[in-house]
Amino acid sequence: MVQPVPTPPECPFPKRFPSQLVRDDAFFMSLAYNQAIDAWRQDEVPIGCVIERDGEVIALAHNTVEAAHDPTAHAEMLAITQAAAAIGDWRLENCTLYVTKEPCPMCSGATLMSRLKRVCYAVPDPKMGCLGGATNLNDLARVNHRLELTAGGVLEDECRLLLQAFFKLKRAAGEEAASLPAPTPLAKPTPPGPLGPLDSTRGV
């Protein structure tokens, strides 16, 4: 049986349009926030990521886990791959990664392995964050690279509200669907009875 494609809850948040004249942390995080809204509209967890080098954006991405059926398709992983392709080097030296939520264990490891100069995240994650939330891979004693970190504070409230609203609306939609009556199964057609003897009066 083909499962219906889920419809994402409508996103009530508008995109941001920061001034191009001031390319500070708030500017780049605003672009990451816009990527998170794109994720919401595709029924993905609304997390967005941007990578900047010398004041220019070299990668933009958002979660595509559901659409790609890929548990590694996090915004940070996709952006890191894009950035490496853009500069032709896996070492993302002098690059800053902006992401709307603290990276998970996988993505935190990738930020270190890609030699990013700096990571700036909006919302700390005390459960799964690994750049200061639940733990900090950047503090490993024998790690051969250190990140500059900006943990929280840049559009933190806006990005947190976006995440909270998404999951609240998803839960509400799930509860509403569960409360609906189950569809009535189609009645099976009654098989025809056995054929009777031919009627000689029909001239057959």
Q: Give the distance from CA 126 to its chain's centroid.
A: 18
- Per-residue model confidence as pLDDT tens digits over 181-190: 766 666 666 6
Q: Average model confidence (pLDDT) for the chain?
A: 90
pLDDT of residue 191: 63
Interior/surface letters 141-156, b for 16+ CB within 10 angstroms, e for the rest: eeeeeebebbbbebbb
Q: Which of 44, 52, 56, 76 is catalytic?
A: 76
Lowest mean pLDDT across 55-64, 86-95, 172-181: 172-181
With cut-offs at 50, 70 and 90, classify the pLDDT of residue 202: very low
Q: Is the pLDDT of residue 133 over 90?
A: yes
44 carries an active-site annotation? no
Q: Is the pLDDT of residue 200 over 60?
A: no
pTM for this structure? 0.84
Partner residues linked to 118 by β-bridges: 96, 148
Q: Mean of the pLDDT values across residues 57-86?
A: 98
pLDDT of residue 112: 98
Q: Mean of the pLDDT values across residues 43-49?
A: 98
pLDDT of residue 194: 60
pLDDT of residue 203: 47
With cut-offs at 50, 70 and 90, classify the pLDDT of residue 175: confident
pLDDT of residue 180: 67
Cα angle 159, 160, 163; round to 5: 90
pLDDT of residue 8: 83
